[in-house]
Amino acid sequence: MARRDFAPGVCIVTGGGSGIGRAIAAELVSRGGRVVVADLDGQRARAVAGELGPPAEAAVVDVADPEAVRALVRDTVTAHGRLDVMVNNAGVAVGGFLEELDERHWSRALDVNLRGVVHGVSAAYPVMSAQRSGHILNTASLAGLVPAPGMLPYTTTKHAVVGLSLALRAEAAGRGVGVSVLCPAVVDTPLLDDVYAAPASLGGPSVRARIRLAQPRFLTPEHVARRAVEGLAANRAVIPVGALAQTLWRVHRYAPALMQGVARLQVTTYRRLERSARRSRGSD
């Protein structure tokens, strides 16, 4: 159960310029937090900070750059004296089957989704360890808990973020630092419209169309943010959000063969949709 007296304190949210990050920043401010809204897009970060008012400030950061992330944490601690919550949320979506992918797809996913989290953790953890307090919240995905075909770079990095978070949680417990990993089902964010897709999959069914086959109704960023901060306040290890995430996570844990069957059905359906789209384009 979430602590009613939970006070976020000084927070950093990467990827805070839109989607889940923006909503988490707003939720933290609503609970009395002072939030640094960090994003690669400085204009979006400033817009969000302006909407949230004086408790928020904007920062530009490329999470793939370790020195930039260290500077973000260093500047925040210099300005405010401490760091209480580090939300490593920045991410990119990458779509396509393995045979359609090249090194660029893997590099982009690894640089942002995995190394970006590693850089955030590495910068924040020493500060929190010295304080003997603080909480790190890493954004993964349902794709980090179950097989997610058709997006191997994405699901690979999200599984890695789950593993990193759970192992670090064990290391950090003795130093007063909490670690949680956020694993929502599909959320209606700009990420769905900005997928770094393999060329062979372009022109086929959209990511939104594919996903609606399994999850007709998307989660809102605001709902995910509430659950995320509630999970942080309760110091939960894994924070799955949405009925689909709760259900499939349990299926995968207790009936992995059944989950593999579901994943194979997804592949069959996606490939059929792509063939149908190619035939339609050929008849135009």
The amino acid at 268 = T
* Catalytically annotated residue among 154, 196, 254, 270: 154
Burial 265-282 (b: 16+ CB within 10 A, else e): ebeeebeeebeebeeeee
Q: Which two tokens stand for residue 115?
A: 């190394």
- pLDDT value at residue 269: 83
Average pLDDT over residues 91-112: 91
**Per-chain mean pLDDT for the chain:** 89
Average pLDDT over residues 181-186: 94
200 pLDDT higher than 80:
no
Q: Which of the four pLDDT bands, split at 50, 70 and 90, describes residue 273?
A: confident
CATH class in words for 10-283: alpha beta
- pLDDT value at residue 1: 44
Q: Which of the four pLDDT bands, split at 50, 70 and 90, describes residue 215?
A: very low
Q: Which of 96-100, 162-166, 195-199 has the lowest mean pLDDT?
A: 195-199
Q: Which of the four pLDDT bands, split at 50, 70 and 90, describes residue 203?
A: very low
- pLDDT value at residue 187: 83
Q: Which residues pair with 223 in a beta bridge?
A: none
Q: Which two tokens stand for residue 136?
A: 């790190």
- Report CA-CA distances (Å) from 187 to 23, 96, 162, 241, 283: 12, 19, 18, 10, 34
pLDDT tens digits, residue range 121-140?
999 999 999 999 999 999 99
Q: Is 154 in the active site?
A: yes
Q: Which of the four pLDDT bands, split at 50, 70 and 90, describes residue 280?
A: low
